[in-house]
């Protein structure tokens, strides 16, 4: 599983990455993380605001920090 955090590295982006890593660890899911900071790379995805969470190239959330439960549900899907 490839998980990407889209964002410049602001506090919200970092919090999203931390929260997602925690949920991945809790579920025992094998995942690789990538923090996409380059604006050109972020613009390749259909997101208008960051932070955004992309799981296996599918945008799951943008513009907010989702709940632990939401992240867990996306990871199980």
Could you tell me the CATH number of the domain that includes residue 63? 3.40.30.10
Average pLDDT over residues 8-12: 92
Q: Which residues are catalytic?
A: 10, 13
Task: State how many domains the chain has.
Answer: 1
* Torsion angle in degrees (nearest 10) through CA of 13, 74, 3, 63: -30
Q: In what order do the strands lie in the sheet with 52-55?
A: 32-36, 2-6, 52-55, 58-62
Q: Give the pLDDT confidence of 13-67 residue by residue, as tens digits.
A: 999 999 999 999 999 999 999 999 999 999 999 999 999 999 999 999 999 999 9
The residue range of the domain holding 48 is 2-76
- Alpha carbons 76 and 14: distance in angstroms, whole number: 22
């Amino acid at each position: 599983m490839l998980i990407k955090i889209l964002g410049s590295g602001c506090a919200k982006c970092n919090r999203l990455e931390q929260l997602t890593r925690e949920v991945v660890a809790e579920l025992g899911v094998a995942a690789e993380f990538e923090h996409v900071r380059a604006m050109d790379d972020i613009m390749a995805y259909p997101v208008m605001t960051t932070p955004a969470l992309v799981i296996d190239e599918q945008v799951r959330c943008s513009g907010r920090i989702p709940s632990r439960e939401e992240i867990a549900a996306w990871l199980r899907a």
